[in-house]
Structure 1
Amino acid sequence: MGNKETERAAITHVMALERAAGRDPKDVRTSGLPYDVESPPRLIEVKAFSRSARSVPFPLEHRQVLAAKANPEHYYLYVVDNLADHDGAEVGVRILHGEVLLAMIERTQPQVTYWPTFKASEYDQAERLQ
């Protein structure tokens, strides 16, 4: 399962769980918000893992950290793991928010990461090893 498939499976799983809990979730990944699912009153950032997320670091963007700090009551982080399990029996969701999420953020050393776009013309002209 690739990254896009893993993320899609996680979002689908979270949306189903939110509906089962009586909330009305909306996938807002393409809206530019610092979270993936809006499920009032929850604002949910989803982190997806094909295997176990136990003891594994995960990235939070600066804007996600700011959103969690600004709204700790409603900002949630859902860690969905074991998505590669073919029958879905082992898929798990761990929910982090409030003081627990804030404590995790506070003990983390921020790192700057650059995400340059590999433009088509640059890709086409780049040296290629075969």
Structure 2
Amino acid sequence: MTEGLGLVGIVLVSHSAALAEGAAELVQQISGGATVVPAGGTDDGGLGTSTARIEAAIDDAETGSGVLIIPDLGSAVLSARAVLADLAGETTARLVDAPFVEGAVAAAVAAGSGADLDAVAAAAEEARDATKF
């Protein structure tokens, strides 16, 4: 997507490549320059998650300040956890339990303002309590 050097990067993990890409496009436009990378679908283009895609997205999103990973549904969490276990000690990436779109928007705004990984994760998690009206 774009390179926000020094800002926390964001990876959106979805079972659908189209959903991950669409959410990343939306979030990127309001991110304030943070890097937002989609990791959706399987390696053969189907529905599901790919640990290889997640790992590549983490690499793409890392600019030196860490990476926040936001999954959509259950097995996306399991796949992201598997990647983080494999990368233990090699990356500063964190998986967060947050609403997919609202959490990604809140995280991107925080990241774009220069917040650190802890603050970006907190912003994503707090989005769960945001009301729409």
TM-score range, shorter chain: 0.3 to 0.5
TM-score, normalised via structure 2 length: 0.35
TM-score (norm 1): 0.36
Q: Which has the higher strand share?
A: 1
Structure with bigger RCO (C-alpha 8 Å, 6+ apart): 2
State the structure with more CA Rg: 1
Q: Going by fraction, where is helix more abundant, 1 or 2?
A: 2
